Structure 1
Amino acid sequence: MVTQIQVGLIGYGVAGRVFHAPLINAVPELKLTKVVERHSEASRQHYPWVEVVKDVDALFHDPAIDLVVIATPNPSHFELAQQALSAGKHVVVDKLITTTSTQAQQLTELAQRTQRILSVYHNRRWDGDFQTVKQVIEQGVLGQLVEYEAHYDRFRNTLKPGAWRETPELGSGILFDMGSHLIDQAQVLFGLPQAITADVRSQREGAKADDYFEIGLDYGNLKVILRAGMLVRERGPHFILHGTEGSFVKYGMDTQEEALRRGLTPSDPDWGLEPQTQWGTLNTQIGSLHFDGQVETMRGCYQAFYENVYQAIAQGAELAVKPQEARNTIRMIELALESHRERCTKPYRTAE
């Protein structure tokens, strides 16, 4: 019988309630044991066995808690992760790992010194359409890839009063939010770029945080474009890939976030499946054959993130999302902001 890893969750807002607790609960080897909620006991409505505590020290000082999951606003991540690692806990941080690459490096080094696992919830690596794009590239069906474009667009033309993501505080705005996903996916596919060029804007009246960006990543013969905006009512493609032999174009977003928001879990039989209307279109030459048609989207699997975290802690498996990669994502965001402010292309370099 496998011993369960006891998990403590800090925060039960949207991140904790929608994106973490259901996926922790979907992995039999993990047991959600304690939840930090300062003003309610909402987690017990879904997980009646958990103990609700009001202070993070109740997790850090509990020897039974093996893994601490931090699902709080971005500016709090560094201090909480630092305290958890120093208390000897393994740590998962909701993306972003921190708001600066310097802090991310400090946490990475602390995890190494304490010999604890530190990972970051970049769940979009397990989007079914991203997994499909990854296979299209790896199998070479487009020939040599020359252009990759990815979008996360929404239409929300009003501001959310009181929302921390819409404040001018470091770590807020769409670049740190959706941009971190797009940058992480590009890093998974292509590694680190040679240079970064960015345009970052606040398009909505009264906006104090950025709500639009376009980032160009230079990989030599490969051009990568990442774009997101809050004023896109008519959605374009999510992914556009062009190569020397053909193209792949994909509309629509992965279904898992919507399913989680509706209260579904990975135990649902249709979990991670996309309707055929959202499958991507492949138009390419494969040997002497011309193919022009749909490619079925692979099944999404957000729970795979926590399955890997368990395997890394209990079995010494390699982490799927390494803290060094999360640090690199923050560094690319920093360089994108520098590029925008200075109106120039910035070569990729680590922070001094």
Structure 2
Amino acid sequence: MKKIKAALLSYGMSGKVFQAPFLELHPGFELLGSWERSKKLIQADYPHLKSYESIDEILANDEIDLVVVNTPIDTHFEYAKRVLEAGKHAIVEKAFTTTVVEAQELAALAKAKGLKLAVFQNRRWDSDLKTVRQVLSEGTLGEIVEAEFHFDRYNPLLSEKQHKETVNSGSGILKDLGPHLIDQALYLFGFPKSVFADIRTTRNNSLVDDWVDILLFYPDFRVRLKASFFVREPNPAYVIHGKKGSFLKPRGDVQEDDLKLMKKPNLESWGTESLEKQGFLHTESDGKITNGKIPTLQGNYYDFFDGVYNSIINNSLEPVTADDGARVMQIIEAAIESNKEKRVVDL
């Protein structure tokens, strides 16, 4: 198997938890190291890897084929552009960029240079969403009437990460948790006709938005997306109502928690959530009522990296494309405009 040699632009939570373990697991990648500005931590976990002193050192290294841009959101455009201009493939963390224009420029640059550019929307490979997608694909709910997705937490304290709490073009819950919810909605239902959004600041001393409610208008149904830091008793993460029935699914994917505990991913049992987190399906087909729990599919972020590998080696489509990232940014910009003008914004 041909090896794709990769480097990270940061070894914070994203690099340590979500990126390095899967690049190390996949036989088609060879992770060479990470740019580390102050704390030199990567060799404590991977003694054979290198801590690079600068992005220039990475870009000048002809060995490196792929660079993961997992720095703060407001740096994504600058760094991803430099990576592509250096002739290297890129994975860019969410939110892809801070504006639609930036996203479109990166997509055009990658296409012009014949490079692969993928957006790290790992939540498509959560056990939760995979199960929701299967239920929708089976058509057991009938014609969809409404759906509501939540990404809620109870965390009234401000983050220790300053870039998340200072006012900049990439801060706030809309560009932190919002891209997960928006990407999942577009992945399942396609692009909506219009958007209405309510964006608030609820934590004491917060300078950035930390509560969001987005309503996506489709021709025959509506999708509501909500995120908050003041949900002590969680709502179901996914609520979908159709003309034949309903499906409710709590957030149950175990991958992030396991990765934070430094558990190593695998290809067998990884991403298997507990039985009590199963979704509840209540529907009717041919006069037969289904009313109970249904098994949850196994999640695995490995599949994202496998998709990136195949896109580079076999010139297939990236698992999450730059155009996908640009569409998410269109919803975010429409949400900001809607909140500011208190109106529905057509897309």
Aligned-pair CA distance for 1:315: 1.3
Amino acid at match of 1:226: L
Which residue is equivalent to 1:221? 220
Which has the higher mean CA deviation after the structures are superposed, 166-175 or 145-154? 166-175
**Alpha-carbon distance in structure 2 between the residues aligned to 1:93 and 1:6:** 16
* Corresponding residue SS for 2:269: coil
TM-score by length of 2: 0.98
| Secondary structure in structure 2 of the residue aligned to 1:39 | coil
- State the match for 2:169 in structure 1: 170
Q: How does 1:250-265 map to 2 (within 5 A)?
A: 250-265=249-264
For the 8 Å contact 1:246–1:282, the answer to whether it is kept is yes
Which amino acid is 1:36 matched to?
W
1:211 counterpart residue number? 210
Normalization by structure 1: what TM-score? Answer: 0.96
| Unaligned segments of structure 2, at least 5 residues | none
Q: Give 1:16 deviation, angstroms.
A: 1.0
Measured after TM superposition, the shift of residue 321 of structure 1 is 0.3
The code of the aligned residue for 2:53 comes to K
**Is this contact kept in 2: 1:10–1:36, CA < 8 A?**
yes
Q: Which residue is 2:297 aligned to?
A: 298
Matched, 1:279 2:278: yes
Q: Which 4+ residue blocks in structure 1 deviate beyond 3 angstroms?
A: none
Residues 127 and 298 in structure 2, CA contact (< 8 A), matched pair in contact too: yes
* Structure 1: gaps of 5 or more residues: none
Instruction: Determine helix, strand or coil for the equivalent of 1:185.
Output: helix
Question: What's the offset of the Cα at 1:49?
Answer: 1.2
Matches within 5 A, 1:18-29: 18-29=17-28
Taking the TM superposition and a 5 Å limit, the aligned residue runs for 1:59-208 are 59-208=58-207
CA offset digits 1:209-241 (Å, max 9, x no partner): 111010000001111000010011111111000
> Once the 2 structures are TM-superposed, how far is the Cα of residue 269 of structure 1 from its aligned partner?
5.1
Distance in 2 separating the partners of 1:132 and 1:83: 38
Offset at residue 46 of structure 1 (A): 1.4
Q: Specify the code of the residue in structure 2 equivalent to 1:174.
A: I
Q: Tell me which amino acid in the other structure corresponds to 1:238.
A: A
Which residue of 1 is the match for residue 307 of structure 2? Answer: 308
* Amino acid in structure 1 at the alignment position of 2:208: A
- Report how far residue 268 of structure 1 moved: 7.7
User: What is the CA-CA distance between 1:162 and the residue it aligns to?
Assistant: 4.5
C-alpha separation in 2, matches of 1:315 and 1:145: 36
- Give, in whole Å, the separation in 2 of the partners of 1:265 and 1:94: 21
Q: Equivalents in 2 of 1:37, 1:48: separation in Å?
A: 14
Structure 1 distance, partners of 2:111, 2:128, is 33
Shift of 1:301: 1.0
CA shift at 1:253, angstroms?
3.2
Q: Is the 8 A contact 1:142 1:243 kept in 2?
A: yes
* Post-superposition offset of 1:50: 1.1
Question: What is the RMSD of the two structures over their aligned residues, measured on CA atoms?
Answer: 1.1
Tell me what 1:242 maps to. 241
2:127–2:252 Cα contact (<8 Å) kept: no
Q: Quick one: distance in 2 between partners of 1:118 and 1:124?
A: 18
* Contact 1:34/1:59 (8 A) holds in 2: no
Alignment-mate amino acid for residue 157 of structure 1? P
In 2, distance between residues paired with 1:338 and 1:295?
A: 40
Aligned in 2, Cα 1:139/1:162: closer, same or farther, shift over 3 Å?
closer
Distance 1:8 1:180 in 2: 24
Question: Does the aligned pair in 1 maintain the 2:6–2:66 contact within 8 Å?
Answer: yes
2:13 and 2:161 map into 1 onto residues whose CA distance is: 14
What is the aligned length?
347
2:320 aligned with 1:321: yes
Percent of residue pairs bearing the same amino acid type: 38
Separation (CA, whole Å) in 2 of partners of 1:327 and 1:173: 18
Contact 1:127 1:301 in 2 (8 A): yes
CA distance in 2 between partners of 1:24 and 1:16 (Å): 10
Shift of 1:3: 2.0
Aligned equivalent of 1:32: 31
Deviation readout 1:113-169 (Å, 9 max, x if unpaired): 111000110000001110110111111010111111100000011212453112221
The 2-side partners of 1:41 and 1:163 are apart by 19
Q: Is the 8 A contact 1:11 1:71 kept in 2?
A: yes
Matches of 1:33 and 1:134, distance apart in 2: 35
